Amino acid sequence: MNQAQVSGEMSDDVLAIAEKWRQAGREVALATVVETWGSAPRATGSHLVIDADGNFEGSVSGGCVEGAVIGEAADVIESGAPRMLEFGVADEIAWEVGLSCGGRIKVYVEKVA
C-alpha cells in the first residue's frame, strides 16, 4: 500500500478527486460512512476514495479501520461488488483501532463507474 495522501479536504473535494481519478483512467472505489453510534472519529457522509494502486484521499475513521477499508476497497475494485463494512470495539481496545469510547461505524464501499 502506498503512503497516505490524506489532506483533510472536505467530502465534496474527495468526490471531485474520485471523479478526476476516474477521468484519468484509474480504477476507483469510494467508501462512505453511512452510520455511526457512540463516539466516532468521522461523521456520517465522510468519504475516502481509493484507487487500485492503494493511493487514497479523505478519511472515514483512522487507525486500523482505515487500513481495513482500504484493503476491502481493493477487493471491491477487482470484483465490482459493493460491500457494507461494520466496525465496533469494546472500550478496552477502542483507542488502538481509532474508535474512541467504544464507538461503531458502518462504511459502504463501492466501485466508481
Domain count, the chain: 1
How far from 97 is each of 17, 27, 37, 67, 88, CA to CA, in Å?
26, 28, 15, 10, 9
Q: Is residue 2 part of a domain?
A: no
How would residue 60 be classed by pLDDT, with cut points 50, 70 and 90? very high
Q: Is residue 4 part of a domain?
A: no
Instruction: Please say if the pLDDT value at position 12 is more than 60.
Output: yes
Give the domain extent around 71: 11-112
Closest by CA position to 99, among listed 107, 109, 110, 90: 90
Please indicate, yes or no, whether the overall pTM of this predicted structure exceeds 0.85.
no
pLDDT value, residue 89: 63
Q: Is residue 69 part of a domain?
A: yes
Instruction: Kindly report, residue by residue over 15-56, the tens digit of the pLDDT.
Output: 999 999 999 999 999 999 999 887 777 889 999 999 999 999
Q: Is residue 3 part of a domain?
A: no
Cell of 75: 477487493
How far from 80 is each of 12, 27, 62, 97, 112, CA to CA, in Å?
23, 10, 24, 27, 9
Q: Is residue 81 part of a domain?
A: yes
Q: Is residue 5 part of a domain?
A: no
pLDDT value, residue 64: 77
